[in-house]
Every structure is written in structure tokens, then in C-alpha cells.
A and B are shown apart, each in its own frame.
Chain A
Amino acid sequence: MTPKEEILSGIRRALGRDPVDAATAAELRARLAAHRRNLIPARAAALDRRGRVDLFVAMAEEVQATVARIPSLAAVPDAVARYLSGENLPAELVAAPDPGLDAIPWQTRPLLRIRRGRAEASDAASLSPAFAAIAETGTLMLISGRGTPTTLNFLPDTHIVVLHEEQIVAAYEDAWDRLRAHAAASGGLPRTVNFITGPSRTADIEQRVELGAHGPRRLHILLVSGAENGENSENG
């Protein structure tokens, strides 16, 4: 017997039964296909857009993310420049090559040095687009892809995320649904889905919370309220 066979037969022996029969297997598959939701906390149920946005911002700020509201992508270069200088950081960043960010008019802030691509160890600040966000806990959802390399989320010290209001859902389950739709449309799940709630932190030293353990010390969210939605980008 192969290790796999031995493990599986050990499981069946311990449970006192044969392999799952066809009817049960069909039931289990149906259960999965139904994507049945378990209990969702009231906090995240039945929120309208305003409610979702407000909850998201409140929860995100609670975990030391900062949020700046802007009307449209056109305001991104200003918001970025202001943020970086406000934090006394160099005016440069690496931005995701995602088409959803193509419309950002970087030329309005010519002193901002922008590179499109994945992050390298020397990058101090990055900009990436959110796929969704979950109001329940102020959590961003970012997915890997051709235009959204994961290193942008972890290597630099400062991470700026562009989030559109209409991307904010109430509960994790709503976010899964969006992910499944995206996967169906694009041939499969992404390699990485990052749920990000505030900057990197550790409490490993005397239970004192310090930000910026290995991931970014700063997480800044540019919350776009405009009519623009994310559908221009590959990452929907």
C-alpha cells in the first residue's frame, strides 16, 4: 500500500466504515457546490453602501491603517504625494502594472518617481489595487495576477492601496462570491489571496505590539468614492 492508501484506509478503519459511498459523495459535493453560508454576524449583515463604507473605515482605522478619501483616480497622484511627504518619505514608489491603475494621471505630479512592476527589496513604497474589501473587520482583499504581484504587498515598508467604495462588501462570504465569479471568468483562482487587516505587526516581545515586523509598517488606503468601478481592470 502506498502511504496515501494506508492513511486513507486507516481513517476508514478508525471511523468504522468503508469508503464513502456514491450517494454520500454526491451529497457532500452538492453541499460544496451550494456554497452554503454559515452564520454571519449581524454587524456584517444587510448593510447598504454607506453603512459598508463607514464600517470598513472605522474598523480599518482601529488597526492602524490610515484612510484618505478621494473622489476619483485622477486624485491619486496628489494623495500619494501628500501622504509620502507627510510621512517624510521619498517621493517614489512601485505601482502594480494592473490596467485598473492605468488611468492614474501620474504626469500631474512629475516629481513623483513611479515604476510599474513587482517590488524589489530596495523599494520603500508600493501601490496596488484592491480586489475587494470586507467591512466586517476593515480587511482588504488583494489577489495575485499578471498586473498585481504579491511582493508589492509585503516587501516595501509603506503600502498604499487603491480601493473603490463599490468594492467594499459586508462579510467575508460576499468576498468569496466575488472571487469565485472572478475565477470562473479568468480560468481559475489566483495563486495568492491576501486578506490584509492593518499593517504588519508582532507582539512577540513581551506582548507589546510593534508595527512593521516583516511586512509594511504603514498601510494607507486611498478610498475612491467616484462612479468609477474596478471593472476596467483585469482584477474586477
Chain B
Amino acid sequence: MLAASRNFPANAAKGLADETLQRALAKAQTGFPLRRRLAVERLPEFEALREEGRAIKDHTLAHLDFYLELFEQKVVMAGGRVHWARTADEARALVLQICRSVGARIVAKGKSMIAEEIGLNEHLAAHGMTPVETDLGEYIIQLRREPPSHIIAPAIHLVKEQIADTFRAEHRNLARERPLDEARQLCDEAREVLRPRFLAADVGVTGANFLVAETGSSIIVTNEGNGDLAQTLPRVHIVLASLEKLVPSFEDAATLLRLLARSATGQEFSSYTTVSTGPRREGDLDGPEQYHVVLLDNGRSALLGGEFQDMLRCIRCAACLNHCPVYTAVGGHAYGWVYPGPMGAVLTPSLVGIAEAGHLPNASTFCGRCESVCPMKIPLPKMMRHWREREFAAGLAPRTVRTGLRVWAFLARRPALYHALAEIASRALGWMGGERGRFRSLPLAAGWTQVRDMPAPEGRSFHSLWAERRHKEPR
């Protein structure tokens, strides 16, 4: 997917002005955080599990090469194949090659952010295949030719009416007068339309929430059952996963699974958590004949050992998105790429470059809510600050900001001068504020006064008043 993150301000403004989007986001804003909180309150061990989750991932990352090689051995032992992709291009080519090798025409897709990242659908379509999204949210946005706006609820930016309009426009062979006012009706229609596609698919492509080194298994966590149909009915199952999805053992996966659903949707466990190991066995009545895992690097290994390594602990629960006041204000499309919200603000610059994605780590108040809900204890604001440091060091910060900071730092290290200027400024602004006690507009502060008043200073600086007071009262 091509990045458009540099347009963040304009896209954010569009999102803020979009009443329908704001209606949709308001629903999401109350739903997910409340459900997560209830699930967490119900599990006294949640905090301890966060710490264990962090330790498991850190351990895995510190030995990632070992676990990857072991994983491959086990996949092969189970009758599958592993393909290594350094870049998005290589991953696309590998998937295409596998699909071609079986003469695939229809490719059923379970929800996969990696597939979005590498632009798989466009690639397959360009080579004469038909990729069919089967996750309801992904299917809806595929029909609308939009990117996902959330990493687990791709259509969260839409209201019912928009989805109904899309279904009417795209499912043209169904009765015109059919009612589509209720979510139930929309679900039923999607199920009905997608069922034949599952059955006709030659290849099923899924992501993986976890890859288990111990057994060469892949794990997907879903609620709909589409991922399971996509990986059971077709002849070929391709798993698309980035390197950091590895965990050592089933026991480690269990710990992370205890964190994932609770953090994502507030469920105790998802409806379907599926462990896949190799192709169908001899005597099985169903299941794919081939099992392939495409391991994607695409910049992950470069994050190891550096100040962004912690980002590789992410298990894609989206808790940070759901709790972020910026994400819930502007929606996911404003971020301009696959990964929105706080995790996107940290990950996107590392994958598409800080020049393209600089706005993302800058559009944060560092309120810290994301870090407080991250099940893997990823220090998101700290890493956003690291991106700002890199921008600053590269001279990418705007001139006005750099000059302003220089002046401020100059003054801050000269207390006498600083105090003299502060006294002058507070007197001047205090006087200008007059009886009203505030400014409706202030030169150099248009960003502020466009939408709010600026309270006037009291008229004397604290340090001047304190100095006077000390003069009067010898201690």
C-alpha cells in the first residue's frame, strides 16, 4: 500500500469535519475501552501477565534467528514449506508464484495487515487472479476501494447506512427492495455472498497472530470463522507473517493469547483461535494439500538492537488505537498507511521513512494512555519522542520551531535575563488583557486563539513578586 502519511494534517482535518465519520468513531470510542476495562477487572493476574508477555517477546527477539530456524525445521517436518522474503516485493512475488504453481484463479483472504503492507491484492489482481476478502470489515472496504482504518476492525469508520449503500451498489443481483437497515441483515447478506467464494477458492491466504517455533505452527485469532474457512477449503494455505510473530512454545502462546482478546475486544477469548500445522494428514477428509509460510522481514530485523526494538513486541491488539484521543478524533485514514494510531505512529516511520511519516509521531500529546493499556508494555510515547529526536537531528523540524527552541534554551540558561523578560512580558500581556482578563486574538498565537481565548497573565511574574515579598519580610 502506498503511504500518504505526509498528508496527515489535511486528512485529519477532513476526518474532523466528516460528521458521518465522527458518528462512527463516537460509537467505537465508548465500546472498546469499556469492554477492555471490564475484561481486565475480571482477571486479577492481568498486570502480571503483561510483564510475562513482555519477557516472552523480549526473549524471543533476543534469539530470533534461533527460533526462526527451528520454526522452519518444524514446518518442513510437518509437510509444509517456509519462504523467506526480505522485502515487500519478494513477498508479493513468492505468493504469486505459489498461486501460479497451482493455477489459482480465486484467492480467499483472511484478514492480514501484512497483505495490506505489501499490497498483495493489487499484485494478484494485476496478474489475472481474483483476491476475495472474507473478513466482513475487509470485504466491505474492498467493495468501497478504501484502505482499512483500524487494524482489527477495518470498517470502523463506517456507519450502517454507508455499508448498506455499498451492498446495494455492489450486490446487484439481489432484490432491490430487500431491507438492509439492520446489522443482522447486512451480516446475513455478506455471509450469503461470500459463501460461494470460499468454496470456489483455489488458495487461502491468512495472516498469523503467532508462529510457534516449537512445532512449526501458525495461530490465527478470529471471531467470524472466515479465516478458518479460507484455510480449510482451498487446496493451498499460505500464511503471510512478519518475523516478529514468533513465540517459542505453546505455553508462551497461551500467555499472549490471554492478553490479546481482552486487550482487543474485551473478550475472554476469541470465538476461533486456530492452530495450523502443515497440510492435511493422510486420511483427513478436508484441509489444504499444501501449507506455505511466507516470512517477511521488510525492515523488522533492522529494528532489533536499536531504540525501536520494543515495537516488535506488538501483538496487534489495537488497544492503543482505541484509547488514543488523536486516533478517535481523526480516524485511521488520516494516518495514510496500514498502521494507524500510536502503534502506527511508531512503526510507520520505520517502514516508510521519517520524511514521509514525520507527522505521525508528532501528532501526539504524549498523554500516555496508549502505553498504559498496551498488553506488551511498549513505551509508545518514548519511541515517538525518539522519532522527533531523529527528525530534529536531521534538520527536518520546521525552522520556526528550531529557532524558537534555540531562543528559549538561550534564555532558560540565563536566569537573570529570563526573569527580566518574564516580568516585562507578564506586565505587558497583563496590561493588554485589560479588564477582560483574556485575549480573543493574539499575534503569533493564531493556532491557539482561532478556537479558544488566551487567558491573560496576572500582570506580574512570580519571581518579581517573590523578590519583593522577600525584601519586605527578612527571614
Residues of A within 8 A of B249 (CB): 31-32, 35-36
CB distance from B57 to the nearest CB of A (A): 12
Residues of A within 8 A of B48 (CB): 39
Q: How far is the CA of A132 from the CA of B23 in the complex (A)?
A: 43
Residues of B within 8 A of A49 (CB): none
Cβ contact of B228, chosen from A3, A154, A179, A210, cutoff 8 A? A154
Cβ contact of A205, chosen from B62, B155, B196, cutoff 8 A? B155
8 Å CB interface, A109-152 against B: 117-118, 121, 136-139, 144-146, 149-151
Instruction: Mark contacts of B224-263 with chain A using CB atoms, 8 A cut-off: 1 yes-contact digit, 0 otherwise.
Output: 1110110011000000000100001111101101100000
Whether the Cβ atoms of B226 and A38 lie closer than 8 Å is no
Q: How far is the CA of A146 from the CA of B282 in the complex (A)?
A: 8
Q: How far is the CA of A150 from the CA of B285 in the complex (A)?
A: 8
Residues of B within 8 A of A90 (CB): none
Residues of B within 8 A of A215 (CB): 224-226, 228-229, 271-272
Whether the Cβ atoms of A28 and B63 lie closer than 8 Å is yes
Residues of A within 8 A of B226 (CB): 213-215
Whether the Cβ atoms of B277 and A190 lie closer than 8 Å is yes
Residue of B86, B159, B281 ringed by the most chain A CB atoms within 10 A: B281
Whether the Cβ atoms of A210 and B62 lie closer than 8 Å is no
Measured CB to CB, the nearest residue on chain A to B164 is A205
8 Å CB interface, B170-199 against A: 183-184, 186-188, 190-191, 194-196, 198-199
Whether the Cβ atoms of B248 and A31 lie closer than 8 Å is yes
Query: Which stretch of A67-75, A160-168, A193-201, A225-233 is in the interface?
Result: A193-201
In this assembly, does B274 line the interface, its C-beta being within 8 Å of a C-beta of chain A? yes
Q: How far is the CA of A173 from the CA of B265 in the complex (A)?
A: 23
CB distance from B266 to the nearest CB of A (A): 10
Q: How far is the CA of A59 from the CA of B233 in the complex (A)?
A: 30
Residues of A within 8 A of B62 (CB): 15
Measured CB to CB, the nearest residue on chain B to A180 is B250
Whether the Cβ atoms of B286 and A151 lie closer than 8 Å is yes
In this assembly, does B269 line the interface, its C-beta being within 8 Å of a C-beta of chain A? yes
Whether the Cβ atoms of B225 and A213 lie closer than 8 Å is yes
Residues of B within 8 A of A150 (CB): 228, 232, 286-287
Residues of A within 8 A of B143 (CB): none
Whether the Cβ atoms of B302 and A10 lie closer than 8 Å is yes
In this assembly, does A41 line the interface, its C-beta being within 8 Å of a C-beta of chain B? yes
Q: How far is the CA of A53 from the CA of B151 in the complex (A)?
A: 36
Q: How far is the CA of A38 from the CA of B248 in the complex (A)?
A: 12
Whether the Cβ atoms of B84 and A2 lie closer than 8 Å is yes
Whether the Cβ atoms of B28 and A212 lie closer than 8 Å is no
Cβ contact of A196, chosen from B24, B56, B257, B272, cutoff 8 A? B272
Whether the Cβ atoms of A213 and B223 lie closer than 8 Å is yes
In this assembly, does B142 line the interface, its C-beta being within 8 Å of a C-beta of chain A? no
In this assembly, does B103 line the interface, its C-beta being within 8 Å of a C-beta of chain A? no
Measured CB to CB, the nearest residue on chain A to B42 is A43
In this assembly, does A48 line the interface, its C-beta being within 8 Å of a C-beta of chain B? no
Query: Which stretch of B132-140, B374-382, B386-394, B404-412 is in the interface?
Result: B132-140
Number of interface residues of B (CB under 8 A): 101
In this assembly, does A4 line the interface, its C-beta being within 8 Å of a C-beta of chain B? yes
In this assembly, does B283 line the interface, its C-beta being within 8 Å of a C-beta of chain A? yes
In this assembly, does A204 line the interface, its C-beta being within 8 Å of a C-beta of chain B? yes
8 Å CB interface, A17-69 against B: 19-20, 24-25, 28, 31-32, 35-39, 41-43, 59, 62-63
Size category of the A interface is 35 or more
Measured CB to CB, the nearest residue on chain A to B281 is A191
Measured CB to CB, the nearest residue on chain B to A41 is B45
Q: How far is the CA of A193 from the CA of B67 in the complex (A)?
A: 22
Residues of B within 8 A of A206 (CB): 24, 27, 159-160, 183
Whether the Cβ atoms of B280 and A11 lie closer than 8 Å is no
Residues of A within 8 A of B305 (CB): 14-16
In this assembly, does A185 line the interface, its C-beta being within 8 Å of a C-beta of chain B? no
8 Å CB interface, B42-77 against A: 43-45, 48-49, 52, 56, 62-69, 72
In this assembly, does A82 line the interface, its C-beta being within 8 Å of a C-beta of chain B? no
CB distance from A94 to the nearest CB of B (A): 11
Whether the Cβ atoms of B65 and A205 lie closer than 8 Å is no
CB distance from A208 to the nearest CB of B (A): 5
In this assembly, does A8 line the interface, its C-beta being within 8 Å of a C-beta of chain B? yes
Whether the Cβ atoms of B224 and A200 lie closer than 8 Å is yes
In this assembly, does A108 line the interface, its C-beta being within 8 Å of a C-beta of chain B? no
Residues of A within 8 A of B27 (CB): 206-207
Cβ contact of A200, chosen from B85, B153, B223, B252, cutoff 8 A? B223
CB distance from A236 to the nearest CB of B (A): 16
Residues of B within 8 A of A12 (CB): 65
Q: How far is the CA of A117 from the CA of B154 in the complex (A)?
A: 36
In this assembly, does A216 line the interface, its C-beta being within 8 Å of a C-beta of chain B? yes
Residues of B within 8 A of A205 (CB): 136, 155, 160, 163, 183, 186-187
CB distance from B220 to the nearest CB of A (A): 11
CB distance from B209 to the nearest CB of A (A): 12
Residues of A within 8 A of B190 (CB): 213
In this assembly, does B270 line the interface, its C-beta being within 8 Å of a C-beta of chain A? yes
Q: How far is the CA of A41 from the CA of B40 in the complex (A)?
A: 12
Q: How far is the CA of A6 from the CA of B65 in the complex (A)?
A: 11
Whether the Cβ atoms of B271 and A199 lie closer than 8 Å is yes
Residues of B within 8 A of A39 (CB): 45, 48-49, 52, 255
In this assembly, does B297 line the interface, its C-beta being within 8 Å of a C-beta of chain A? yes
Measured CB to CB, the nearest residue on chain A to B237 is A191
Q: List 28 A-B contacts (CB under 8 A).
A: A7-B68, A24-B63, A28-B67, A39-B45, A42-B44, A59-B268, A118-B286, A121-B199, A136-B268, A150-B232, A173-B251, A173-B254, A176-B251, A188-B277, A189-B215, A191-B279, A193-B276, A195-B272, A197-B269, A197-B271, A197-B273, A201-B223, A201-B224, A207-B28, A213-B223, A213-B224, A213-B226, A214-B134
List 4 tightest A-B contacts by C-beta distance, closest first. Answer: A215-B225, A213-B224, A14-B304, A204-B137
15 additional A-B residue pairs with CB within 8 Å, beyond A41-B49, A42-B45: A6-B86, A14-B306, A20-B63, A35-B250, A38-B255, A39-B52, A97-B285, A144-B280, A191-B279, A191-B284, A194-B274, A200-B271, A201-B224, A212-B188, A214-B225
